[in-house]
Amino acid sequence: MTSFQFSTVPHLIAEPGGAARVGALLAERFPNARHALIVTDAGFLATGLLAAPRASIEQAGIHTSVYSGVVADPPEHVVLAAVECARREGADIVIGIGGGSSMDVAKLIAVLAATDQPIATAYGIGNVKGSRLPLIQIPTTAGTGSEVTNIAIVTTGETTKMGVVAPQLYADIALLDASLTLGLPPLVTAATGIDAMVHAIEAFTSKHKKNPLSDLLAKQALSLLSKNLLRACQHGSDIEARQAMLVGACLAGQAFSNAPVAAVHALAYPIGGIFHVPHGLSNSLVLPHVLRFNLSHAAQHYAELAAVVVPDATGSDEARAEALIGAMQQIAAATGIATRLSQVGITEADLDRLAEDAMKQTRLLGNNPREVSWEHARAIYAAAL
Ligand SMILES: [Zn+2]
């Protein structure tokens, strides 16, 4: 067996209702904490779901401030405003409660508020200097897995994004509480859930860093996600299905944080960047077409995953891999989310530019089981149109 490394957060708590007792947890684990900065977005703040966790933190004798200025695909100035807020309030612990964007901003606050490092020098891999403030992550969607990854994405230009990747970005604690996800609309539940499934699939076929642990996590993630996605979409208040989705998304996050994602994400990013299509939906739109493109190089791996998602599939590796692709298409169709690029306003005339932008995602494309050229990327988009 080839050598491998595996990293994740040191402490994971999966407990429906657990966010309401986060104060006791902080008091126990961080007895010196005096002031917590809660990082979220205006939408989650408006749900009122922050009240219980915030009250529990105050009850534990820790002051709280809330930064709710996070927006999707957070621009750099939002990150800097959040860091400034943490310094002004004297925060000595950071709690991200929200989707991937809120948790990504929380990571950067924890890192940048503790040092004088300018954000411009933190982009890239392993460029974060020094230690960070204590960091707790509590996801409110079952998708990104950001609570257990070591990467934060920042929008630095009109459509360009940069990533900060560093071991310091792994949180001290990730807390999975499905009660925070009960109100998610079905279409958001579907798109974020399919994104999590893509994380598992791409981790399982990742070219360079696939390893026995990421494989194990990816399979278990796919099992939980495929069994519970439609249930969570159709019965939003089903706490068991919601918790299973949250755990599935977290396991997929642990998998792809070590065995990184590939061409599905590379082709999805330009759709989000240019057309402002949400990340999960962008992935779902290109997923079956990228998998079909990869078939010649990954049929055996896809067949292994078919055993998890469509256990009654039989025949050759290729046949079972096709069954996996078909099952993913059926799941997407059953949720009612868009399944064609034309449904999100993309036309034939856009395909050259999309393919051009996808080719810039060299970090992701390098993980794909099959090499992707501009012509390939364009053909995949054309198939998805
Ligand atoms: Zn993703």
Q: What is the pLDDT of residues 57-82, one digit of tens each?
A: 999 999 999 999 999 989 999 999 99
pLDDT in tens, 75-101: 999 999 999 999 999 999 999 999 999
Cα separation of 39 and 16, whole Å?
Answer: 21
Sign of the alpha-carbon torsion through 155, 361, 272, 357: positive
What pLDDT shows up at residue 291? 98
Distance 14 CA to ligand 1 centre (A): 21
Higher pLDDT, 114 or 13: 13
**What would you measure as the largest C-alpha separation in the chain, in angstroms?**
63
Mean pLDDT for 336-361 is 97
Average pLDDT over residues 2-22: 96
233-242 confidence digits (pLDDT tens)? 999 999 999 9
pLDDT of 133 > 80? The answer is yes
Task: Measure 33 CA to ligand 1 centroid, in angstroms.
Answer: 33
The reported pLDDT for the residue numbered 273 is 86
What is the whole-number distance in angstroms between the Cα of residue 246 and the centre of ligand 1? Answer: 14
**Confidence band, pLDDT 50/70/90 cuts, at residue 2:** confident
Instruction: Say how far apart CA 216 and CA 220 lie, in whole Å.
Output: 6
Mean pLDDT estimate for the chain: 96
CA of residue 280 to ligand 1 center, whole Å: 6
In the reported structure, the alpha carbon of residue 233 is separated from the centroid of ligand 1 by a whole-number distance in angstroms of: 19
Q: How far is the CA of 176 from the centre of ligand 1 (A)?
A: 18
Distance 274 CA to ligand 1 centre (A): 17
Q: What average pLDDT does this structure show over 229-233? A: 98
Tell me which residue has tokens 């792809």: 256
Cα(55) to centroid(ligand 1), Å: 32
Q: How far apart are CA 164 and CA 202, in angstroms?
A: 21
Tell whether the model's pLDDT for residue 1 goes beyond 70. no
Check if the beta carbon of residue 267 is closer than 8 Å to that of residue 290: yes
pLDDT confidence of residue 13: 98
- Tell me how far the alpha carbon of residue 57 lies from the centroid of ligand 1, in angstroms: 31
How is residue 375 written in tokens? 């012509």
> Rounded to the nearest whole angstrom, what is the distance from the C-alpha of residue 63 to the centroid of ligand 1?
34
Rounded distance, CA 272 to CA 280, Å?
A: 9
Distance from residue 198's CA to the centre of ligand 1 (Å): 7
Centre of ligand 1 to C-alpha 128, Å, is 23
Distance 262 CA to ligand 1 centre (A): 10
Q: What is the pLDDT of residues 302-325, one digit of tens each?
A: 999 999 999 999 999 999 999 999
C-alpha distances out from residue 250 to 192, 221, 235, 324, Å = 12, 8, 21, 21
| pLDDT tens-place string over residues 139-166 | 999 999 999 999 999 998 877 788 999 9
Distance 240 CA to ligand 1 centre (A): 23
The encoded tokens of residue 133 equal 């403030």
DSSP annotation string for 317-359? HHHHHHHHHHHHHHHHHHHT---SGGGGT--GGGHHHHHHHHH
